[in-house]
Amino acid sequence: QQPVQSPQAVILREGEDAVINCSSSKALYSVHWYRQKHGEAPVFLMILLKGGEQKGHEKISASFNEKKQQSSLYLTASQLSYSGTYFCGTEMFGNEKLTFGTGTRLTIIP
Amino acid sequence: DTGVSQDPRHKITKRGQNVTFRCDPISEHNRLYWYRQTLGQGPEFLTYFQNEAQLEKSRLLSDRFSAERPKGSFSTLEIQRTEQGDSAMYLCASSYRTGRDEQFFGPGTRLTVL
């Protein structure tokens, strides 16, 4: 089951904040976040595991609501380099593959 | 450069031909994944390996697709009798041990089927 991401696209000015959401209809074990710039490969940002463990970049923050099977990625004081498409990848119990969402395109303007 | 590498970066082929792609993961990584990505979509899981063992293959994948990782190092993805619908970016990723480790993606192989 493909996770649903919202919004599909967002435009921010430098310095503004954004929240990107990822929802699943299935019970999740973990949520992974990646950013992909045009023409490049996805780059790892964060992993959130059931039980509260997180692994990722210090400047990126995210949450994982296990009851609602939702995750949110928080981008604060956005910089031009944050532009790209953000994908969440979800892992269900007993299945260690990731199912990626359709992405959120983030554009930062000066 | 010790990242994930893929070869070739671009492949143009005629419908009906066979193609093979290669992926070299980060050397100490046991997990290797193949994904397919089309424009505007997220990566779509194809298959993954733990060392040389293929642990899962997507049910969406037809029998024309096969992958192997013979010695637990590099992997190949072969598509037989290519169709226009196979045109996509094929991404390889590797991770250290488990699905709970971050995946490092290669630059991808862009396949165009004429």
Q: What is the pLDDT of residues B1-40, one digit of tens each?
A: 579 999 999 999 999 999 999 999 999 899 999 999 999 8
The residue assigned the tokens 């899962």 is B56
Are the Cβ atoms of A41 and B106 closer than 8 angstroms? yes
**Comparison of pLDDT for A97 and B81, the residue scoring more:** B81
What confidence score (pLDDT) does residue B100 get?
79
Are the Cβ atoms of B43 and A55 closer than 8 angstroms? no
Are the Cβ atoms of B105 and A32 closer than 8 angstroms? no
B contacts of A6 (beta carbons < 8 Å): none
Are the Cβ atoms of B42 and A91 closer than 8 angstroms? no
Alpha-carbon distance of B18 to B64, in angstroms, equals: 9
Residue of A nearest to B109 (CA): A41
pLDDT at B65 over 80: yes
Q: Is B48 in the A-facing interface, judged by CB distances under 8 Å?
A: yes
> What count of Cα atoms within 13 Å lies in the side-chain half-sphere of residue A110?
0
Q: B107: which residues sit within 8 A by CB, 6+ positions away?
A: A40, A41, B4, B5, B6, B9
What confidence score (pLDDT) does residue B1 get?
54
Cβ-contact B4, B105 below 8 angstroms: yes
Alpha-carbon distance of A42 to B4, in angstroms, equals: 12
B contacts of A95 (beta carbons < 8 Å): 56
Phi, psi torsion values for A80, nearest 5 degrees: -55, -35
Pairing of strands B10-13, A43-49: unpaired
What confidence score (pLDDT) does residue A58 get?
67
> How deeply is A101 buried, as exposed, middle or buried, from its count of CB atoms within 10 A (0-12, 13-18, 19+)?
buried
The residue assigned the tokens 């190092």 is B73
Alpha-carbon distance of A37 to A29, in angstroms, equals: 27
What confidence score (pLDDT) does residue B101 get?
86
Cβ-contact B104, B26 below 8 angstroms: yes
A contacts of B60 (beta carbons < 8 Å): none
The residue assigned the tokens 């993961």 is B25
A contacts of B108 (beta carbons < 8 Å): 41
pLDDT at B87 over 60: yes
pLDDT at A18 over 90: yes
Residue of B nearest to A50 (CA): B100
Over residues B91-106, the mean pLDDT reads 90
**Most confidently predicted of A84-93, B8-17, B99-108:** B8-17
What confidence score (pLDDT) does residue A93 get?
81
Q: Over pLDDT 90: what percentage of chain A? A: 69
What confidence score (pLDDT) does residue A50 get?
80
Q: Is A101 in the B-facing interface, judged by CB distances under 8 Å?
A: yes
Average model confidence (pLDDT) for chain A? 91
- Give the best residue of A30, A98, A105 to mutate against chain B (max B CB count within 10 A): A98
The residue assigned the tokens 């953000």 is A86
Are the Cβ atoms of A100 and B48 closer than 8 angstroms? no
Are the Cβ atoms of A103 and B44 closer than 8 angstroms? no
3-class SS string, B3-26:
CCEEECCEEEECCCCCEEEEEECC
- DSSP SS3 for B67: strand
**Comparison of pLDDT for A5 and A28, the residue scoring more:** A5
Over residues B75-96, the mean pLDDT reads 96
Over residues A101-106, the mean pLDDT reads 95
pLDDT digits (tens, 9 = 90+) for A58-71: 678 999 998 889 99
Cβ-contact B89, B42 below 8 angstroms: no
Are the Cβ atoms of B56 and A91 closer than 8 angstroms? no
Q: Residue B85 corresponds to which amino acid?
A: G
Over residues B39-65, the mean pLDDT reads 91
What confidence score (pLDDT) does residue A74 get?
93
Beta-bridge partners for B20: B78
